[in-house]
Amino acid sequence: MSPDQGIRLDVGDSGPATADVQRRLRQLGFSTGIDPEGSYQVGTRAAVQAFQHRRGLRVDGVCGVQTWSALVEAGRRLGDRFLYRRTPMLRGDDVAELQQRLSALGFDTGRVDGIFGDLTSAALGEFQRNVGLPVDGIAGASTASELLRFGTRHDDTELVTSVRDRERLRQSPRTLAEQRVAIGEEGGLDATVAALRRLLVAHGAVVTTHHHPDGSIQASEANAAGAEVYIGLRLDAGPRHCSTAYYAGYRYSSPGGRRLAELLQDRMCASLDLPDGGSRGMALPLLRETRMPAVICQVSPATVVVEQSPVIARAVVDALAEWAGTPWD
């Protein structure tokens, strides 16, 4: 099965695609219960939910495009295939392990996100140069063997990526003046985004707005705009609440994103008198693919957002101002 844009498997579906999902889930240690082979029933749904939670995805028990892609990526191990810079970029747990091992040795791959981009390619080339391998930017058998030979797992070693993250935060603007801020929404929040943009501009920020239901497209636009921080607003289903999410994955979490998510959570819940849904590290495409600290703020019900756009704008600006002034030493 390929990650077709129309894939959506749920309880009641059956066939080879469901059997493939079940096989991948079991290989990763998620039991599908007593569900028959190729039949998407409650056991498969529960396994998908557990997998989604572990991978930092939205938990709905449905195997859509994001969940299917994550299943494929989770099955990759370093040494299974050649890793190199290409378009579209290679993704997978093997890429993440490569990034972690390089970063633990002091080679800066950028964010550990399981995406083989320019920084990972450059770090790989530097590693190859240092150990006397041909510098081709390709992680094949000899490079993987050399990395594994060092033996030290990344679990107990601070990654150079985390050190560089904090250094970038220390060097960023300490106020909102001239801070390059990206604001995004998936649909239905144009007025709220406009109110937030006006208030940020009044504080001297340079603001870009991004309106698209696809998080990957928003991430690409924010990266191209050179944003230093991203705030996403999203209407959520369910009871009254506010929750925030920042990037975390592969034993890495964004320090700037986490701090901003916590500040935003406090401000929004207090200003809107909403139950606290908490902050959580997630690996949603938007959070994973943005190169700057990024936070998604989810609010329910929609009437709160529509009726209190000025209050939301003030809460976000206050949180951003406090975040910009955070001492990162």
251 and 280 fall within a common domain: yes
**Judging by beta carbons within 10 Å of its beta carbon (0-12, 13-18, 19+), is residue 33 exposed, middle or buried?**
exposed
Residue 185: CB atoms within 10 A of its CB come to 23
Intra-chain end-to-end CA distance of the chain, in Å: 48
CB 294 within 8 A of CB 257: yes
Predicted pLDDT of residue 43: 97
Predicted pLDDT of residue 2: 53
155 and 250 fall within a common domain: no
**77 closest CA partner among 11, 157, 139, 13:** 139
**323 closest CA partner among 297, 288, 284, 301:** 297
213 and 150 fall within a common domain: no
For the domain that residue 118 is a member of, what is the CATH number? 1.10.101.10
154 and 198 fall within a common domain: no
CB 308 within 8 A of CB 237: no
- CA 128 vs CA 11, 107, 152, 227: distances in Å: 48, 11, 17, 32
**249 closest CA partner among 25, 27, 46, 91:** 91
Question: What is the model's pTM?
Answer: 0.90
**287 closest CA partner among 101, 58, 90:** 58
Domain presence at residue 239: yes
Predicted pLDDT of residue 153: 54
Which amino acid, one-letter code, is at 42? V
210 and 293 fall within a common domain: yes
Domain presence at residue 83: no
Handedness of CA 13, 288, 57, 266 (dihedral sign): negative
CA–CA gap between residue 109 and residue 95 (Å, rounded):
11
Domain termination site, one of 114, 146, 163: 163
100 and 201 fall within a common domain: no
286 and 319 fall within a common domain: yes
Predicted pLDDT of residue 209: 98
For the domain that residue 219 is a member of, what is the CATH number? 3.40.630.40
Residue 257: both structure tokens together: 């994103």
**230 closest CA partner among 329, 134, 323:** 323
Domain presence at residue 5: no
CA–CA gap between residue 192 and residue 211 (Å, rounded):
12
Condensed to tens digits (0 to 9), the pLDDT of residues 36-54 reads 999 999 999 999 999 999 9
**Judging by beta carbons within 10 Å of its beta carbon (0-12, 13-18, 19+), is residue 69 exposed, middle or buried?**
middle
111 and 235 fall within a common domain: no
Residue 285: CB atoms within 10 A of its CB come to 17
222 and 132 fall within a common domain: no
185 and 299 fall within a common domain: yes
DSSP assigned state of 89: P
Domain termination site, one of 144, 163, 182: 163
Domain presence at residue 82: no
Domain presence at residue 196: yes
Predicted pLDDT of residue 160: 80
200 and 140 fall within a common domain: no
Domain presence at residue 313: yes
Domain presence at residue 7: no
CA–CA gap between residue 205 and residue 184 (Å, rounded):
15
Number of domains in the chain: 3
Q: Which domain holds residue 310?
A: 172-324
Predicted pLDDT of residue 3: 46
Identify the segments of the chain with pLDDT beneath 50.
3, 154
235 and 293 fall within a common domain: yes
**One-character DSSP codes across 104-125:** HTT---SS-SSB--HHHHHHHH
Domain presence at residue 49: yes
Domain termination site, one of 27, 42, 74: 74
